[in-house]
Structure 1
Amino acid sequence: MFTEERLDAIMQCLRDQGTVKVKDLSAKFKVSADCIRKDLKVLENQGKLRRAYGGAILSQDFPLSRDFVDRRSVNVSQKRMIAQKAYDCIREDETIFLDVSTSNILLAKLLAGSGRRLVVVSNMIDILQALSASPYITAIGTGGTMVRTVNGFFGAAAIDVIKQYSFDRAFLGSCGVDMVDGSITTLGVEDGLTKRAVLSSSRHKYIVMERDKFYFNDSFRFAHFDDIDAIITDTVPDEGTVNALRAANVEIL
């Protein structure tokens, strides 16, 4: 195996597991521990991981793909799992909020085909379009400042509408979490303030995100672990992350 191939494989192990050990990688790739340490140093210099005692973890600063249109076709099977788990949380006649999220688009499609009677408020055009297929769902758009990159609405006008509601459940997207201080992040202030308004208006609060996002964060902290009830994800993260979330009374679904 060439060096670049091994570096790519190490990164895949990190994305799958959240953490790697030098001795395990050495055995896996049949190279010396010193060779693996050099590989980890190269990846750390690229900002992709942070070396720790005996191994490494993904760097919180390694960016996720931010282009929303691109992300619709990424991790589709994982997002379907997340959408199904979120769907299972929802009860007949509830009022819910669906935030800008590619997983929430899939959730909206499940709801539209379910025959459930619901009131669904959303700030995302794709979600409202999906919900329009159901005669049983009252779909309400927030309006606000249109952000083309996410095909949704943020800002003061959206927040004013959100504040008028009392949601039984809210399903919020995220760009990642910071396990150091227990914060939940997103890309920008307008999105973050809109999400905060949703949290303030909701009884049950869920973050919907793929497992990879446990090892990334972004620029704006819109919530902390004690502000939410659960994180809905495709597969359980590493043991250290699970223990930290349980200590913060955050359920992992």
Structure 2
Amino acid sequence: MSRQQNKMLADERRARIMEELEHKSTVLVADLCKKFDVSEVTVRSDLKKLEDAGKLRRTRGGAVSIMRTITISYPDQRMNVNSAAKRAIASKAAELISDGESLMVDTGTTTFEFVRALTDKRDITIVTSDLSIATYADSNLPHADVICLGGHLRKNHRYITGMMTLRNLSEIFADKAILATDAYTPGKGFTTEFMGNAEVKRGFLAQARDRIMLMDASKVRAPRFVKFGDISDFDTVVMDYDPEGKVAETIKSSCAQTRLELIDKDLIVGRDVDSDIGRERTKFIED
């Protein structure tokens, strides 16, 4: 069989895998092997190709449909802004998580990607105020217990805030808190647009042993409405890159013990470097 014929067969097989996912939310490697009469190696290669193309999410023993299994509380344009960087940051942050840990997970598109990167973790507990994160984790992370905080559902959003939320938080102690931010400004700290959201973020910081901030470089900008923390409040900050070294300089000048984790730019699909002016510029692909 020619290489061209092999490629055609592979393309047809992958198209049929996607058809399966149109009708079901999950597929299993074992079932696909039988259906197409091919080896596990072949099926896993197909699933990896489709995941790399952003068409599905691989899990242990199979794959899930991104479109059918995710209930997204965020407008499509927010999910698609800097999506490659967010996925890389999420993947890096997931490496910091061990089996058996309890996690407080903030609302946000980057933290949503973080939860999507936890498929191989075992016996974890996820505490969140975000209904979309809770729904996704419940449907797609079979080895995770999910605790959704009670409280007031913000109008036209799918996350919870308020006195009841803070009271719930005060009774929970987690191994790690994973937060997102609307902005980080050197000298002014981390800020967000909504007061109620800031209160919950402060609650996460107070109730976790280790605090991890996830943000892409675009968040290093002018402050938003209300502050919820400083760089020294976090044990780790995970970023795609640090524009002009501003975050590293803040850590150094404040003598904070915060660890800054930057992503190898070659690992972020869609990013390149403008060699003419020696300055990073980022091209992001959509989900």
TM, length-normalised to structure 1:
0.69
Q: Which moved more, 1:126-135 or 1:185-194?
A: 126-135
Is 1:163 paired with 2:170? yes
How much does 1:242 deviate?
A: 1.9
In the alignment, residue 238 of structure 2 is paired with which amino acid?
I
Q: For the residues of structure 2 that align with 1:150 and 1:81, how far apart are their CA atoms?
A: 25
SS of the residue aligned with 1:192? Answer: helix
In the alignment, residue 250 of structure 2 is paired with which amino acid?
A
Q: Choose from 168, 181, 199 the match for 1:193.
A: 199
How much does 1:116 deviate?
A: 1.6
Which residue does the alignment assign to 1:172? 179
Q: For the residues of structure 2 that align with 1:228 and 1:234, how far apart are their CA atoms?
A: 17
Is 1:116 paired with 2:104? no
How much does 1:231 deviate?
A: 1.6
Q: Choose from 223, 227, 232 the match for 1:221.
A: 227
How much does 1:240 deviate?
A: 4.0
Q: For the residues of structure 2 that align with 1:128 and 1:202, how far apart are their CA atoms?
A: 19
Q: Choose from 93, 107, 129 the match for 1:100.
A: 107
Q: For the residues of structure 1 that align with 2:240 and 2:158, how far apart are their CA atoms?
A: 24
SS of the residue aligned with 1:85? Answer: helix
Q: For the residues of structure 1 that align with 2:113 and 2:246, how far apart are their CA atoms?
A: 30
Q: For the residues of structure 2 that align with 1:177 and 1:122, how far apart are their CA atoms?
A: 22
How much does 1:68 deviate?
A: 4.0
Equivalence map 1:6-21=2 (5 Å): none
Which residue does the alignment assign to 2:245? 239
Q: Give deviations 1:80-122, integer Å, cap 9, x for gaps.
A: 01101110111111111110010111111221x2142101101
Q: For the residues of structure 2 that align with 1:68 and 1:146, how far apart are their CA atoms?
A: 14
The percent of aligned pairs where both chains have the same amino acid is 21
In the alignment, residue 214 of structure 2 is paired with which amino acid?
V
Q: Is the 8 A contact 1:170 1:198 kept in 2?
A: yes
Q: Is the 8 A contact 2:106 2:130 kept in 1?
A: yes
Q: For the residues of structure 1 that align with 2:234 and 2:74, how far apart are their CA atoms?
A: 24
SS of the residue aligned with 2:92? Answer: helix
C-alpha spacing 1:115/1:180, structure 2 compared with 1 (3 Å): closer
Count of residue correspondences: 185
C-alpha spacing 1:72/1:148, structure 2 compared with 1 (3 Å): farther
In the alignment, residue 118 of structure 1 is paired with which amino acid?
I
Is 1:205 paired with 2:199? no
How much does 1:189 deviate?
A: 1.2
TM, length-normalised to structure 2:
0.61
Is 1:90 paired with 2:90? no
C-alpha spacing 1:244/1:115, structure 2 compared with 1 (3 Å): closer
In the alignment, residue 203 of structure 1 is paired with which amino acid?
R
In the alignment, residue 196 of structure 1 is paired with which amino acid?
R
Give 4+ residue runs of structure 1 displaced > 4 Å after superposition. none
Task: Give the root-mean-square deviation of aligned CA atoms.
Answer: 1.6
Equivalence map 1:33-182=2 (5 Å): 68-69=74-75, 70-111=77-118, 113-132=119-138, 133-181=140-188
C-alpha spacing 1:241/1:93, structure 2 compared with 1 (3 Å): closer
Q: Is the 8 A contact 1:236 1:252 kept in 2?
A: no
Q: Give deviations 1:41-99, integer Å, cap 9, x for gaps.
A: xxxxxxxxxxxxxxxxxxxxxxxxxx942311211101001101110111111111110
